[in-house]
Amino acid sequence: MIASLVSALALLHSTPRLGAPTTPSQASPVAFSTSRRAALAGGAAALLCRAQRAVAGGINSGAPRLQDEKEDWAAGLSKETPQAQVKAGYAYLGKLLERMDEITAAEGGDGVRRYLGTVGTTSPVFGIQKVFLKLADVIEPKDPELYFETLERMVTKISDADAEAYAANFVTFSSAKGKPEDFYARAAKQVVDARKEWLVLLQQLGLDS
């Protein structure tokens, strides 16, 4: 019986996969590009999924929000184009940096996370990775490989900023060293870096003007 299993496994590994090129010279560059893109997009998706673990709520979800942050972006997104959302998201993160002290004083770390789109759905940054992927199917990036690598880095920065803001909610009550302000400062640094990557994506799509 063992001999039969060994024979079957050998036959399985020796049988070419359906549609797979039989020699290196037959490998399609288009297929490689597609698989490369899928791998990068998959990695970005996994990172953003980790960042969005608390989309509907948040530690400080009951805290009062800043008055002008009550606009319902989720309701407007269906009427907006993806191009409008990626531009708005870039500006929104800039607004977060400008008002970081005010936002954290009013809502703590969850105020930052609302801007990042990882708590709630009102931020134009919410679901931004999917929007950039959709745009790449509509507008050919100037350098596709650079585009998807940049997207992955940007998503990582947003995820890291979210993690710092999330940790700030607990540092006062835990044995961890530091103050909430230390975590907010590190979150802000990640947002600055994310915007740098975001701008590259806009340039790749010709949407930076």
pLDDT in tens, the chain (209 residues): 444 443 444 444 444 444 444 443 444 333 334 445 554 555 554 444 444 443 334 444 443 344 344 444 444 444 478 999 999 999 999 999 999 999 999 999 999 999 999 999 999 999 999 999 999 999 999 999 999 999 999 999 999 999 999 999 998 776 667 899 999 999 999 999 999 999 999 999 999 97
Residue 155 lies inside a defined structural domain of this protein: yes
Residue 12, both tokens:
């399985």
pTM score above 0.75 = no
Residue 137 lies inside a defined structural domain of this protein: yes
User: Cα separation of 16 and 5, whole Å?
Assistant: 19
Residue 70 lies inside a defined structural domain of this protein: no
Residue 179 lies inside a defined structural domain of this protein: yes
Residue 22, both tokens:
């039989």
Enclosing domain of residue 91? 80-209
50 by Cβ neighbours in 10 Å (0-12 / 13-18 / 19+) ranks as middle
Query: What's the total number of domains in the chain?
Result: 1
Using an 8 Å Cβ cutoff, are 187 and 168 in contact?
Answer: yes
User: Cα separation of 89 and 124, whole Å?
Assistant: 5
Residue 84 lies inside a defined structural domain of this protein: yes
Residue 64 lies inside a defined structural domain of this protein: no
Residue 8 lies inside a defined structural domain of this protein: no
- Beta-carbon contacts of residue 183 (< 8 Å; ≥ 6 apart): 109, 164, 165, 167, 168, 171
Residue 136 lies inside a defined structural domain of this protein: yes
- Beta-carbon contacts of residue 150 (< 8 Å; ≥ 6 apart): 197, 200, 201, 204
Residue where the block lists tokens 């990557």: 197
